[in-house]
Structure 1
Amino acid sequence: MQRVTATILTIGDELLIGQVIDTNGAWLGQVLNSIGVWVSRRVLIGDNETDILQALDEASASSDIIIITGGLGPTKDDLTKGILNEYFGGKLVLHEPSLEIIKGIFEKSNRPMLPVNIQQAEVPDVCTVLLNSRGTAPGMQFERAGKLFFSLPGVPYEMKGLTEQYVLKAIQTKFSLGEVSHRTMTTMGLGESFVAERIADIEDHLPGNIKLAYLPGHQAVRLRLTEVLQSGDSSLIDTYFHQIKERLSEIVVTDQDISLPELIAALLIKFNKRVTTAESCTGGYLAAGLTALSGASAYIHGSVVSYDNAVKENLLKVPASVLKTEGAVSEPVVIQMAKQVRILMHADYSIAVSGILGPTGGTEDKPVGTVWIAVASEREVVTKLCHFRYDRLHNREATTLQALNLLRKLIEAENPLPEFPG
């Protein structure tokens, strides 16, 4: 087995100025890692020929695989194809199968084709063409000195399609990658450094082919073990994973590589329960996360965005006197919100949140970042006061994670919970 490395080159001025976020590089890094390719560098490059050529030279000197995304469109600022044609010493030729795909796309949308659209079907004669059924720019594969080069469209939907259909298979055919396994758990309640200190002795004794990665977020820390096996080796990843899980048992949220909304959905479906939300400061963000999953109608039928106090008072029956004396951001208010919305929506569980996410609205007693959360069932209401220190968007995200985790604990406390399959 050989250690195979990759460099991802993402091209476009819009990426450098922050107008577009490089989601392609992040996705490629994940899928390459999943098959045993180690991404050594991700490089953002503007639409500049000199910079692109320099990046190609540097990448090919240090990596076995170079993946380029972007710059294959029909406009004058799309330089990638011409530069690669020059770099590999080819000449552009019309690729008829790609032209047929382009024609079909324009016919389907009832739009006329321009000469520049036809030119997108031109490719260097020294490349292997990767047919792009999802768009008008074909992908390209080159090889030099045992290194693989891939040029893919910058449109994420098209890039992903070509990667899954062609790129991963070509890499696995060319290189001996071994067997790669991942195990991931999510923790909440301790910061990254405290988690690392708690399991330092286990990490120190990991075999050389097992690596531990810390993936911290604003409220959670994910831990990922990665094992690379050569032929005939025995797997030890589960042994070390369970050691870490046992050591961190009181803060482990899930031992699967899933999000909190996915975990909540799985629990609700498992126990045939429904949830609802009453949201003030999050403005429907909680419900949006739960309903973003396929099959959400099985566990959530509705929610209430009670941003204004009048909605809290009239729909969720929060007494005006409580709103006046305690304020909207208070424990009695979220308790009533949680109780009433659960009844209103005929749900088994409910979440209520009210807070000050910022950047304005804070007071000396209730500064920005103050959030009250309540979760309720027929038998119990549990509350939590949080003080977050982020900007508005990150405070909203932190509130959502804390609320879902509080709900998870209540569901697990009230229902027998067998271990998730390893």
Structure 2
Amino acid sequence: MKAEIITIGDEILIGQIVDTNSAYISSALNKIGVSIYQITSIQDDESHILEAFAAAQSRADLVIVTGGLGPTKDDITKHTICKYFNDELVFNQGVLDHVAHLFKEYIKKPMLDANKTQAMVPSKAEVLVNEFGTAPGMWIENDNTIFVSMPGVPYEMKGLMENEVLPRLQKQFKLPYILHKTFLTYGMGESAIAERIERFENELPAEIKLAYLPSLGRVRLRLSTSGLYKEVVEVAMQEQADKLLPFIDDIFVGYESDGEFEQVVAGLFVEKGKTLAIAESCTGGQMVERFTAHSGASQFLKGSLVTYATQSKVDILGVDPGVIKEHSVVSAQVAEQMAVNARKLYKSDIGISTTGNAGPLKGDSDAEVGTVYIGIATENGVTAHHFMMGNHRERVIGKAVNKALELLKEELLSK
């Protein structure tokens, strides 16, 4: 089964919001064996919507539409659906009762006439109950193509997908089993990895595809395949995974299914019974954010400081101002003192620090933009690592955080 996703809304096209709906929908559909053929974002314009519907129906078995289902005049999706399917809006008592319930129990305000229009739905549509909002989802089958229209509010759309759309698709169709296995690697670029695993890639069976997914300081390698029988697909995938691993064993840090790299590092802290303190400057708190974005960080993370200004390094972390004057705030010596003092302050097993020039200005140091020092302090002493991370601010910060995580992993595995 091939699907196409259409997101409707001028706010997407002008960059006012990011289209996270398509990412979620494509992932959810892929997990149940539906392949995504195309994703399209279009204006709140009738002719544009009609054109997109016709194009999608010509090439997809399933068309998922989000957006344009609100009670205001600029929400035109329902009317356009009626025009496309030569249909008309009819009153649905069940939808009105649901809207009235939401206003009474949760919104605690009188229902406006505009909200009552949500109960008008295309006569050919099967209504999908939107547990979290007033706009119902709609399921329409036409000439062997299924159209599903849902509101654009992400949590409402997700509720409809999980409670209505995915169960219906799985019940109505025999879908193939799609399997992805994604390897997380750190410390080597895409082209270098490609050269290293060239023989493996050349020998891959035709039914298994390899994709390179590079980002700051890391490359994900994704193997993908599909088939009617889960057991056969999993055996074939494992055979290729076992062949790939020896090529990348020194840069392999885990599978994406095990979580993000920071979760791998967090797991090592818990496993080793070690604790961590963080002192950040150029990374501005992004290292600690990576850890605390996941539950369980309190098991190993004692605390963190963002001593962004030079004086705060002196006043709060206790960095020697004479060292800053002699070596610059962006230096190995300052990184070492930050790591040591953070470790002492929080009474942790490991202290880690970042100081650098992310750019575009040099700030309080003459060090070149892209210069980063990362300090690591343990009971055995302290070391500082020097890196040049390029000249793009976001890239410098992202690479610095990833490198810090990589160094923590190495430290934890060295014992």
Q: TM-score, normalised by structure 2?
A: 0.94
2:193 pairs with 195, 203, 207, which one? 195
Range with greater deviation from structure 2 (108-117 or 228-237): 228-237
Amino acid at match of 2:328: G
In structure 2, distance between residues paired with 1:91 and 1:70 = 19
Determine the C-alpha separation between the residues in 2 that align with 1:196 and 1:136: 50
Report the residue type matching 2:178 in the other structure: V
1:154: which partner in 2? Answer: 152
Q: CA separation in 1, counterparts of 2:242 and 2:387?
A: 31
Write out aligned runs for 1:38-77 (5 A).
38-77=35-74
Matching of residues 14-413 of structure 1 within 5 Å:
14-107=11-104, 108-231=106-229, 233=232, 235-257=235-257, 258-361=259-362, 366-389=367-390, 391-413=392-414
Moved more, 108-117 or 65-74: 108-117
Q: Secondary structure, in 3 states, of the residue corresponding to 2:223?
A: strand
Q: 1:272 to 1:46 in 2, by over 3 A?
A: same
Q: In terms of mean alpha carbon deviation, does 195-204 or 53-62 score higher? A: 195-204
Cα root mean square deviation, aligned: 1.9
Residues 209 and 229 in structure 1, CA contact (< 8 A), matched pair in contact too:
no
Matched position secondary structure for 1:361: coil
Paired residues of 1:132 and 1:158 also in contact (CA < 8 A): yes
Amino acid at match of 2:232: D
Q: CA deviation at 1:159?
A: 0.9
Classify 1:395/1:76 alpha carbon distance in 2 versus 1 (closer, same or farther; 3 Å).
Answer: farther
Distance 1:190 1:40 in 2: 32
Q: Do the aligned partners of 1:98 and 1:132 also contact (CA within 8 Å) in 2?
A: no
User: In 2, distance between residues paired with 1:338 and 1:267?
Assistant: 20
Post-superposition offset of 1:104 = 2.6
Contact 2:330–2:365 at 8 Å: present in 1 too?
no
| Displacement after TM superposition at 1:390 (Å) | 5.1
Does the 8 A contact of 1:371 with 1:387 survive in 2? yes
Where in structure 1 are there 5+ consecutive unaligned residues?
Answer: 415-422
Give 1:317 shift.
2.5
Given that 1:373 and 1:383 are in contact with CA atoms closer than 8 Å, whether structure 2 keeps it comes out as yes
2: CA distance between counterparts of 1:101 and 1:412? 56
d(CA) in 1 for partners of 2:197, 2:123: 55
Task: Summarize the Cα distance change of 1:339–1:40 in structure 2 as closer, same or farther, 3 Å threshold.
Answer: same
Q: Deviations over 1:323-374 (max 9, x none)?
A: 0011111111111111111121111222200111122126996222211112
Post-superposition Cα deviations, 1:264-306, rounded to whole Å, max 9, x if no partner, equal 2222222222212101112222112211212222121311111
C-alpha distance in 2 between matches for 1:95 and 1:272? 59
**One-letter amino acid matched to 2:297:** A
Contact 1:362-1:368 within 8 A present in 2 as well: no
Structure 2, unaligned stretches of length 5 or more? none
Q: Name the stretch that deviates more: 138-147 or 293-302.
A: 293-302
Q: Find the residue that maps to 2:179 and give its secondary structure.
A: strand
Contact 2:333 2:384 in 1 (8 A): no
In structure 2, do the counterparts of structure 1 residues 240 and 99 end up closer, same or farther at CA, with 3 Å as the change threshold? same
**SS of 2:166 mapped into structure 1:** helix
- Find the residue that maps to 2:68 and give its secondary structure: coil
Runs of 4+ in 1 over 6 A off after TM superposition: none
Q: TM-score, normalised by structure 1?
A: 0.92
